[in-house]
Every structure is written in structure tokens, then in C-alpha cells.
Amino acid sequence: MHILITGGTGFIGQALQKYLVNAGHDVRILSRKSGWDVVNQIMDPHVLDGIEAIVHLAGAGIADQRWTNARKKELIASRVDSTRLLARVLRTEKHQVHTFVSASAIGFYGADSGQQTCTESTESGSDFLAECTQAWEDAVDEIKGLRVVKLRIGLVMDQDGGIFPVLARPIRFFVGFVLGSGIQGQSWIHREDLVRMFAQALTDERAHGVYNAVAPEPLTHAAMTHEIARAYHRPVWWPHVPAFALRLILGEMACLVTGGNFVSSAKIQNELGFTFTYKRFSEAIKQLVHV
């Protein structure tokens, strides 16, 4: 298949490109460096030449900078405006694209959905993350006439990027703390499983609509911190870092660490028969620490 990946230069995109090329697909990357200018809504008309499927990953990094009002606008615009540009080009230009797989995020349920289990039919939350993700999914819904899949991605774990090195570093240096209450849910997924999920969404005709992209066994933040510490033979110091202190340091985006979600993977397992290599965090951590 001829596949175009937007934001393919990033953490998920690089691994996905490698996987798809190894599986025999032809992969092209759409980057701000070449091919499109999201801010000015311009796209090279030849970008879609021969393309049959699009994976849409582009978006400004949620945890890269403090959430000022300007940054919040950028986080939303980079996702919504990039999706709208693709939707417009797909509507107005001749093309052979039949499948559109978009990243979304479990932030759809809000930064903190408490102890409830979120399924794909759980309503969206009411904070900034939920607003951003809802706007992004609404923009994806403007794409008509193709098979459209949205993957609500959890915390993506891999040794060389994403959240795992950020969590592991202080623990390895003997300054491991539990952040906030510790009972917040961490719905994670190993990058290898996520990449296989994207690949299945691209090729499995049954896949359409929204699926949670998380491992079957979420755990609390405290349990995850202790698993990482155990794997590195390190202690975790008490007491917990209180939420108000994290808010002083991080501002509103502290909710990314003080909040959490328990998200269900049942739909993709039951409907598409997706099987995980890493179901439990205790299995993933062995690979993350020993690679």
C-alpha cells in the first residue's frame, strides 16, 4: 500500500514508518519542512499522488511547553487546522485515498476521569485536554467518503522517547517520587503494540470509527512508579509530591501528571481481534529496562 504519514518525523511516526516499510508498504512523510504549511493552509498538490492511505499524527507537543493561552491555541490549531487542510484537499483534488487513520488521545475523557473505566462511548471530559481532543476528532469527522479510524492513544511507552525516560530518570537517580495522590489511572501502551495497531487499522477493512489504543491493564500512578523503581532496584521516596506543588511548578498542565484515566481496550480486542504483546506493565517494563 502507498501510505502518507503526517507528523511522521515524530516519536510514533518514526517507529510506524519503519514497521510499515518492513511490512512491504511504500511510505511517504508529510512534514512542515516539506509538503505542507498548516498555518497558511497550503499543501503541495503532488503530495497525494498515488497515495492510498493517510495516517495523521501531526500536532504540537502537548507537554513541550507551559500552557499559556497562545500555546493552547497552537495545540488545538496544529491538530484541527492540519486535519481541515487534509479534508479540503481530499474534497477538492483528485486522489486514490480510501483510508484515513488519525491519532487521537485518551485526553478525550479529560486529564482526570477518576476511578471510572472509560470506554469509547464514555462522554468527553470538560477540561482543556478534552476540548482539544474533541475539536480534533470533530475535524476528522469532516472527512467523508473514506474509511476513517480514530485511535485514542494512551501514554506511549518506549525506551528511547515519550514519557518512559521522563518517568524513569529521577527514579534511576534515587529521586523517585509518587506525584499527586498516586491513585490516578495510567492507561499506557507499548509503542510496538501501538504501531501494530495503526498497521491493522490501515489494512483491516472492518476497522472504522473510534478505538481506545491502550494496553488491557491500566494501573495506578503509584503502582507504575513502584514497578519502574523495582526494575531499576531503586527506592521510591515518600511522601508524595502534592498536587498543589506540581501546579505551582507546571501551571495548568500539572493535570497531565496529577490526573489520569482508567481506559478500556476491550473494543479493539473484541471487534478486531487485536492481540497485545505487552498486556501488563510488568511485562513491558522488562523490555523497557533491558533493551
Ligand X SMILES: NC(=O)c1ccc[n+]([C@@H]2O[C@H](COP(=O)([O-])OP(=O)(O)OC[C@H]3O[C@@H](n4cnc5c(N)ncnc54)[C@H](OP(=O)(O)O)[C@@H]3O)[C@@H](O)[C@H]2O)c1
Residues of this chain that interact with ligand X (CB under 6 A) are 7, 9-13, 31-33, 38, 57-62, 78, 82, 103, 105, 153, 155-156, 162-163
| Cβ atoms 5, 17 nearer than 8 A | yes
Q: Which residue, 163 or 202, has its beta carbon nearer to ligand X?
A: 163
Gyration radius of the chain over CA positions? 19
152 φ, ψ to 5°? -85, 100
Q: Which residue, 94 or 291, has its beta carbon nearer to ligand X?
A: 291
CB of 46 vs ligand X, minimal distance in Å: 18
How far is it between the farthest Cα atoms of the chain?
A: 60
CA dihedral 141, 144, 146, 149 (to 10 degrees): 10
Q: Which residue, 59 or 260, has its beta carbon nearer to ligand X?
A: 59
CA distance 59 to 153: 13
CB of 259 vs ligand X, minimal distance in Å: 14
CB of 265 vs ligand X, minimal distance in Å: 14
Q: Give me the residue whose beta carbon is nearest to ligand X.
A: 10
Provide the grid cell at 15. 517507529
Q: Which residue, 59 or 176, has its beta carbon nearer to ligand X?
A: 59
CA distance 177 to 242: 10
Q: Which residue, 32 or 88, has its beta carbon nearer to ligand X?
A: 32
CB of 244 vs ligand X, minimal distance in Å: 26
CB of 239 vs ligand X, minimal distance in Å: 28
Residue 240, helix vs strand vs coil: strand
Closest CA to 61 of 13, 110, 114: 13
